[in-house]
Amino acid sequence: MDKDWRSPGRLKTHNNQKYLRYFWEVNDLRKWQSICDGGDFRRWYGNLEEKVDFSDAAKSFYLGKGGYSASYSTRKGITWSEITSSKTSFRIRPEGAFNSTTSPTIISTAADARPNAVIAFLNSRVSAYLIEAINPTLHTTIHDVLRLPYSVPPLSVERLVGDNLTFSKQDWDSFETSEGYAKHVMISHIAEHPLSYPLKIGHYKGYVPKKCQEFRNYFRRVDITW
């Protein structure tokens, strides 16, 4: 693996309580940048809830502590949670995101590195077996992953991985803990539901007021006690 992949380093704040926030706690997205910071078992995509302070003052503080590498920090890569009691789950680190010490990350050094093929291998049973053999602890380090022997899978596998990435992102974005959340998955595919935003809005004119009145009439007839 170390032939075409390397570590971009990590952003270490030295004070997470001050410099890290969840995305719903901040407004200025120019000051606060996405950061991968560990998380639950999740393959392909996700665990992107946190933001890191990237103001000029914060950057100066990080650099003074040797906190990050400006050259490679935000390139698209493959990340995972460094500590796990289960199998290691690998997922994409989007371009523009940083990673902390608890989310080791690798980026490609070759133009033809084929990241979909690599993440397919890393999320396979073969990779899980080899990682367990190399380091049978709760930690999966950069060194462990870059030591793995690697053979490029066929293109058909890469196409399947592309589908997995799409589905995983859709799943992540279907809950409020995603920055890309729009509406809950339970109402996303109900074509006749008013919240699915049909093209012919006029078809539902009066639908909601009518249903509200039906509920009011119902509860007037029913004696609800606890």
Q: Is residue 188 part of a domain?
A: no
CATH for 26: 3.90.220
Q: Is residue 161 part of a domain?
A: yes
Record the tokens describing residue 175, joined without a space. Answer: 């809950």
DSSP 186: G
- Its domain, for residue 223, covers 193-226
138 and 199, same structural domain? no
211 and 156, same structural domain? no
pLDDT band at 20 (very low <50, low <70, confident <90, very high): very high
Q: Which of 39-43, 68-72, 144-148 has the lowest mean pLDDT?
A: 68-72
DSSP 110: S
Mean pLDDT over 64-85 rounds to: 78
Q: Is residue 53 part of a domain?
A: yes
Whole-model pTM: value is 0.77
Give the C-alpha separation, 55 to 105, whole Å.
23
The total of other beta-carbon atoms located within 10 Å of residue 81's CB is: 23
Q: Is residue 36 part of a domain?
A: yes
Q: Which of 82-86, 201-205, 212-216 has the lowest mean pLDDT?
A: 201-205
98 and 25, same structural domain? yes
On the question of pLDDT at 224 being above 90, the answer is: no
Q: Is residue 66 part of a domain?
A: yes
50 and 115, same structural domain? yes
Residue 169: partners with Cβ closer than 8 Å, 6 or more residues away: 44, 45, 46, 180
CB 12 within 8 A of CB 65: yes
pLDDT > 70 in the chain, percent: 78
Q: Is residue 187 part of a domain?
A: no
Q: Is residue 142 part of a domain?
A: yes
Give the pLDDT of residue 8.
Answer: 85
Coil/strand/helix, residue 90: strand
Q: Which of 17-26, 94-103, 117-126, 183-192 has the lowest mean pLDDT?
A: 183-192
Q: How many domains does the chain have?
A: 2
58 and 148, same structural domain? yes
Give the C-alpha separation, 175 to 152, whole Å.
34
pLDDT band at 69 (very low <50, low <70, confident <90, very high): low
203 and 173, same structural domain? no
pLDDT band at 151 (very low <50, low <70, confident <90, very high): confident
The total of other beta-carbon atoms located within 10 Å of residue 58's CB is: 19
Q: Is residue 30 part of a domain?
A: yes
Residue 219: partners with Cβ closer than 8 Å, 6 or more residues away: none
166 and 111, same structural domain? yes
CB 79 within 8 A of CB 120: no
Mean pLDDT of the chain: 80
143 and 207, same structural domain? no
Give the pLDDT of residue 82.
Answer: 92
Record the tokens describing residue 215, joined without a space. Answer: 């509920």
137 and 207, same structural domain? no
Distances, alpha carbon 82 to alpha carbons 40, 90, 120, 193, in Å: 11, 10, 19, 43
- 86-129 pLDDT, tens digit each: 889 999 999 888 888 899 999 988 877 788 899 999 999 999 99
Give the pLDDT of residue 175.
Answer: 85
166 and 219, same structural domain? no
101 and 203, same structural domain? no
